A and B are shown apart, each in its own frame.
Chain A
Amino acid sequence: MNETEEKFGQIYFAVLGAVALAFGVAELIATVPGEASWGIMEMSGIFLPWRAIILLSVGFFYLSSVKNFAEVHQLAKAVMASIMIWIVAGIAIWARIAGSIPGEETWFNSLEGFLASYAPPYCPEMFLLPFSLVIVYYILKEGETVK
């Protein structure tokens, strides 16, 4: 990992960490009324408090990994935070896939019904998912360095 890559990683994951932290706080606040929505983002469900805790942890891990980002232990923190996002977002996506196949009263859903299952709103973790994939680049880079 060269200096530019390290600098980019530091800024990128600092911003991502701050955003994750903000989403975590928002989810934590949303646990009081039980649900909250903002545009196409929705925070609801019985696991909302747990998801809030996970997002807060993600935020802390990303932010704490920023200093001396190229160091393997620091990078590991960012990787761990990304994996946490992948697990939560993966579950949310899987729930959608599973729910999109059967119809309300039939075995299989209509095309419109199938696609409507993937329509907004989405949970905050799903918004963070594509941005968290940047860590894969750094994992590959680290692998090359080790080789």
Chain B
Amino acid sequence: MRNEKSKVQSGKSPLKAVAIVALVLMALSTAVISVDAHMPGAEAPPEFELEPIVIDDGGTEVEITIEDVGNYHGQMCVCTCCAFRATQLGLSEIWGAEIASGEDVDASTSATTLFPTREDIRIISRLPTPGSRDCFQYVTGTGPGLETNTKGEYKIILPDGTEVVNMSNKNLKKVSKSNTPDNFRFDVCRISTGECFEVVVKEGVFPDDYFELRKKVKFGIPENATDEEKALFKSEWEETRDTFLTSPDWELFEGVEEPKEPFPVGGAIFFSILVIGLGLLLGLSLRGKAR
């Protein structure tokens, strides 16, 4: 009997362990969900394909993906996605031609590299938000907890010319209360040559009432948001994030021309054959009737 009892007891302990492990896993998964959802209840982004940002970090080729930046920040929010796309565009506009032709883009060393060097990158952002800060700091290697060989430069200068030196979450949230579309401007510069490209988010990327709703929902200015307004902001937030993840550059940023599609030669040939074929068929049938 004792033996049976001890067997039963020993059978219970693995069950307990499984239950504990399951509970721990459940707790961890909820923690992950809460981190992933910057906007409470926000849906996961759709499938997207974004090329990584490739830079040279003191001789080491570094690939930075949007997921890397999202993990560093804690979530892929609107500002993180916008900052990532802006950096991609800025770097390609300034270094693009040289990267394509394989020239030496590293002016500070004699080594031949095919990517912008991290120490040659300067980003001046008008956007005082933690999401964009984390993205730009990740790229320039200036953020806390980042182990990089070299560092670029990153500054926040508001549209009125004020430099935001205190980049703590608390201060950025305070400064970002009155954000407008005008804050979504970023200068991506090449320090060695002084070249800069200003990335400006196009009108219409943000819904018209986005910033008003943001103020209400996030800061209760001028009054607390209603449930309907909160739901509307959530859907606009998701939509804007998805736009930054999936739209091409010319739809997101000013000054980027839509690449012209090549003339459809194949289509023209096929259409010509079709017309000639139908013409011959018609000719033959008319000839047959005439006979």
Contact = CB atoms under 8 A, between A and B. Distances in A.
Contacts of B270: 118-120, 122
B267 interface: yes
Contacts of B277: 130
Contacts of B267: 115-119
Contacts of A116: 261, 264, 267
B48 interface: no
Interface in B244-269: 261, 263-264, 266-268
B264 A119 contact: yes
Nearest to B265: A119
A13 B263 CA distance: 37
Nearest to B271: A118
B274 interface: yes
Nearest to B280: A133
Interface string A13-55: 0000000000000000000000000001000000000000000
Contacts, number: 29
Nearest to A93: B274
Contacts of A122: 270
A118 B274 CA distance: 10
Contacts of B266: 40, 118-120
Interface string A105-126: 0000000100111111010000
A40 B269 CA distance: 14
Interface in B39-95: none
A112 B274 contact: no
B76 to A, nearest CB: 30
Nearest to B278: A93
Nearest to A117: B267
B258 to A, nearest CB: 13
A111 to B, nearest CB: 9
A98 to B, nearest CB: 13
B235 to A, nearest CB: 24
B284 to A, nearest CB: 9
Contacts of A40: 266
B226 to A, nearest CB: 35
Contacts of B261: 112, 116
Contacts of B274: 93, 118
Interface in A93-147: 93, 112, 115-120, 122, 130
Nearest to B270: A118
Contacts of A117: 267
B114 to A, nearest CB: 32
A113 to B, nearest CB: 9
A34 B267 CA distance: 25
Contacts of B264: 112, 115-116, 118-119
Interface string B6-35: 000000000000000000000000000000
A112 B266 CA distance: 11
Contacts of A130: 277
A119 B275 CA distance: 15
Contacts of B263: 112, 115
A42 to B, nearest CB: 13
Interface in B128-143: none
Contacts of A93: 274
B269 to A, nearest CB: 8
A123 B113 CA distance: 45
- The 10 A-B pairs at the shortest CB distance, nearest first, are namely A119-B267, A118-B267, A115-B267, A116-B264, A119-B266, A118-B270, A118-B271, A115-B264, A119-B264, A120-B266
17 contacts: A40-B266, A112-B264, A115-B267, A115-B268, A115-B271, A116-B264, A116-B267, A117-B267, A118-B264, A118-B266, A118-B270, A118-B274, A119-B264, A119-B267, A119-B270, A120-B270, A130-B277
Given A118-B266, A118-B271, A120-B266, 5 more contacts: A40-B266, A115-B263, A117-B267, A119-B266, A119-B267
